[in-house]
Structure 1
Amino acid sequence: MNLRLSAAMLLVLAIPGIVLAPKTASAQNPSNAPVRVVIVGLEHGHAGGLLSSIPDQKNVELVGISEANTALAERYARQFHLDKKIFFTDTDQMLTQLHPDAVLVYTAISDHRKVIEIAARHGIMSMVEKPLATTMADAIAIRRVSEQHHVPVLVNYETTWYPSNTEAYRQVEAGKLGAIRRVVVHDGHEGPKEIHVGPEFLKWLTDPAKNGAGAMFDFGCYGADLMTWMMHGETPISVTAVALTDKPDIYPKVDDDATIIVRYPKAQLVLQPSWNWPFARKDMEVYGATGYAITVAADDLRVRYAGEKAESSIKAPPLTENEQSSLDYLVAVFRGQIHPQGDLNSLDTNMVVMQILTAARESVKSGRTIELKPLPKQ
């Protein structure tokens, strides 16, 4: 069973007792018209992948880009053959003039709150790149502004669109693995400098204030997101973490490798985010009381069930049309076809993710295990 539920109804976000009605299809934007989106920020390197994919999206129309760095804006305009008329240097001015349906945020993580607050004042939903924020204070402020202005806030993870992860979830929900006992998640690559990310991207990725940490936040968020989804939003009991800087000549201010142990009453999550893997990887091992499922890249799994003498390989079925990419999902939420509560991209899930990440950072600083409790209602 997938928690990304379809519903032509009011959008309920993860704010206890609060029902939020998103800006949805209207006379200005009928349900079959493309969703008009703007991009805020180009310093996040994933913006390039987004701009490459938008031309293939019949349900999305890019109407504006806000970027204060004019040299960076000009570079993207040349690279993607974009009309310079759609570029702005001021986000508020762009939203006032264009009245888009959704804001896609590609800034440093520390700027997410500011952009979401601007969009919310205009009554516009936002989708940010993972993780939600760099601090718990910002995450709580984002939740508050989402409630006050009745706008959805979504978080995009590449691994949401991996059929293998959804199939692992289905295996758990179907009882094929028994109760979850241990989940191990490996995420990362050789390092942002080593894979030649753009200079504007590298600058904030390696700034602990703008990124939250190093590899710990950059890649630890993936597994925290997946586990929170599989645990149906349960807040863990405690978080214990260690972090290393194995390449201080490259990453002197942030960690480039971390191990995070997240404890639940009857289960344990082990996150291994790193900028030191020999190859890029995003994979997960789910061990239950009676079986296991190990994801292999985006589409395949290795599984073994009770009574079997050896594991077997299976291919995950494709995701539904509304769930194959961040833009497909965004459109479905805007049109009221997906109800983002308790799923991988929802605000309630990502509030727990932020609890895990900020506790991990505190654990590294203090050398202690950090105990957690569910967030209080607003």
Structure 2
Amino acid sequence: MKKVIVIFVCVLGMQWGYSHEQPIRLGVVGLTHAHVGWILERDTSLTDIRMVGIVEPNQDLAQRYSEQFGFPLEMVYADIDSMLDAVKPEAVAAFNDIYGHLEVVRACAPRGVHVMVEKPLAVSNAHAKEMAQLAQKHGIHLLTNYETSWYASNEKVYRSLKAGAVGPVRKVVIRDGHKGPKKIGVNAEFLAWLTDPKLNGGGALTDFGCYGANLMTWLMDGERPKSVTAITQQMQPENNPNVDDDATIILTYDTANATIQASWDWPMGRKDLEVYGLTGALYADSPNRFRIRKAQGYSDYSEQVLDLEDRPAPWNEPFALFAAVIRDEITLEKYDPYSLENNLLVVAILEAARTSAETKRTVSLN
């Protein structure tokens, strides 16, 4: 008999964003990633960061966003070196194509400017390793932002797993994606590079496979998969002629495995996670919906459902966290989803997945 208990959990968090007498001076590199709206429309009353310059060579796009979000065109520079020299930011948030992330770090690291990029970290192991070497050599923070890092449900899954709530992890299923960039109506500038195999490093495998690789690396405390097996398909050739738009990635570990389902062909958008241990299962169904099932007998189980409040500041959005890390108010755990260690492994998994899909063979990561 299945028992279902619904619990509404209220977490009393701090006000969104931290306050500082001297806000972090933040530069923005690129306006072609649609996630840039997160910083352009951020509450200006927050005093943890202040946007001081923007790099965007596409003047039509800069003009359009200037009118939409209200920043002056005088803030916009045609290239990154000009912006860095003119306004001297302490940190940069990159919202350009993934291939361009390396250029951002090459420009920022020698100047001691911290960098946060949108997921994934890089298009290849070669790019990722050079970025890491530059960050370490020059002592800068290099973070990677994933929307799923803000989810209260994912944090609850992680803490519950580490507390032994369902025993050791055995199987993980992670599903991410939407109908496809063209179907959901992303703007032309974003679509142009998102469906370019060089600039994005692939299609759905890169765009949404990175979420699963990132979360699994976190759940496994940085353990490297023994093998990666991937199958890619092109379900919408008319919309995505040059890249995959559906990918299934299987990761194996000594005592666990993960299936990552990354697709631009779901009927609706989703980012959800299932973790199966020896004695039960943990579910992150949405940003704030968490469930735990405890096995009872052969097929029965008891279930608790928790509707969680958003994570407290600065964990509820990337820019507050970036500022807190720079100010040494937060020290990231080694394989935190934002961390460099985690995201170097993410890129290695994605590269192995691309190789597996191309060669139709399992790739060893030992």
TM, length-normalised to structure 2: 0.92
Cα distance in 2, alignment partners of residues 295 and 130 from structure 1: 20
Cα distance in 1, alignment partners of residues 154 and 83 from structure 2: 37
Deviation of 1:91 (Å): 0.9
Deviation of 1:99 (Å): 1.3
Deviation of 1:56 (Å): 4.8
Cα distance in 2, alignment partners of residues 32 and 304 from structure 1: 46
Partner of 2:194: 205
Deviation of 1:147 (Å): 1.2
Please show how residues 141-152 of structure 1 align to structure 2 within 5 Å: 141-152=130-141
Partner of 1:219: 208
Match status 1:345 vs 2:338: yes
Partner of 1:187: 176
Partner of 2:306: 314
Cα distance in 2, alignment partners of residues 202 and 248 from structure 1: 15
Match of 1:290 among 270, 279, 289: 279
**Runs of 4 or more consecutive aligned structure 1 residues displaced over 6 Å after TM superposition:** none
Match status 1:335 vs 2:327: yes
Partner of 1:174: 163
Partner of 2:16: none
Deviation of 1:122 (Å): 1.1
Deviation of 1:139 (Å): 0.4
1:323 match: secondary structure: coil
Partner of 2:290: 301
Match of 1:163 among 136, 149, 152: 152
Unmatched segments (≥5 aa) in structure 2: 1-18
Unmatched segments (≥5 aa) in structure 1: 1-29, 374-378
Q: Amino acid of the residue matched to residue 71 of structure 1?
A: D
Cα distance in 1, alignment partners of residues 331 and 146 from structure 2: 17
Partner of 1:12: none
1:151 match: secondary structure: coil
Please show how residues 67-216 of structure 1 align to structure 2 within 5 Å: 67-216=56-205
CA distance 1:271–1:306, shift in 2 (3 Å)? same
Cα distance in 2, alignment partners of residues 150 and 288 from structure 1: 39
Please show how residues 264-279 of structure 1 align to structure 2 within 5 Å: 264-279=253-268
Deviation of 1:146 (Å): 0.7
1:276 match: secondary structure: coil
Contact 1:54/1:62, CA 8 A, preserved across alignment: no
Partner of 1:324: 316
Question: What is the CA deviation profile of residues 338-363 of structure 1, one whole-angstrom value per residue up to 9, with x for unaligned ones?
Answer: 11232110100001111111100000
Q: Amino acid of the residue matched to residue 112 of structure 2?
A: G
Partner of 2:219: 230
After superposition, the CA RMSD in angstroms is 1.3
2:314 match: secondary structure: helix
TM, length-normalised to structure 1: 0.89
Deviation of 1:119 (Å): 0.6
Cα distance in 1, alignment partners of residues 74 and 310 from structure 2: 38
Contact 1:45/1:197, CA 8 A, preserved across alignment: yes
Q: Which moved more, 1:303-312 or 1:325-334?
A: 303-312
Partner of 1:15: none
2:329 match: secondary structure: coil
Match of 1:258 among 247, 254, 279: 247
Q: Amino acid of the residue matched to residue 202 of structure 1?
A: L
Cα distance in 1, alignment partners of residues 45 and 240 from structure 2: 37
Partner of 2:364: 371
Partner of 1:243: 232
1:111 match: secondary structure: helix
Between the two proteins, what is the percent identity of the paired residues? 42
Contact 1:31/1:335, CA 8 A, preserved across alignment: no
Partner of 1:26: none
Q: Amino acid of the residue matched to residue 233 of structure 1?
A: G
Contact 2:20/2:48, CA 8 A, preserved across alignment: no
Deviation of 1:83 (Å): 1.1
Cα distance in 2, alignment partners of residues 31 and 317 from structure 1: 25
Contact 2:229/2:249, CA 8 A, preserved across alignment: yes
CA distance 1:82–1:31, shift in 2 (3 Å)? closer
Deviation of 1:73 (Å): 0.9
Deviation of 1:334 (Å): 1.0
Q: Amino acid of the residue matched to residue 314 of structure 2?
A: N
Cα distance in 2, alignment partners of residues 108 and 360 from structure 1: 20
Match status 1:362 vs 2:348: no
Deviation of 1:312 (Å): 2.5
2:27 match: secondary structure: strand
Q: Amino acid of the residue matched to residue 51 of structure 2?
A: L
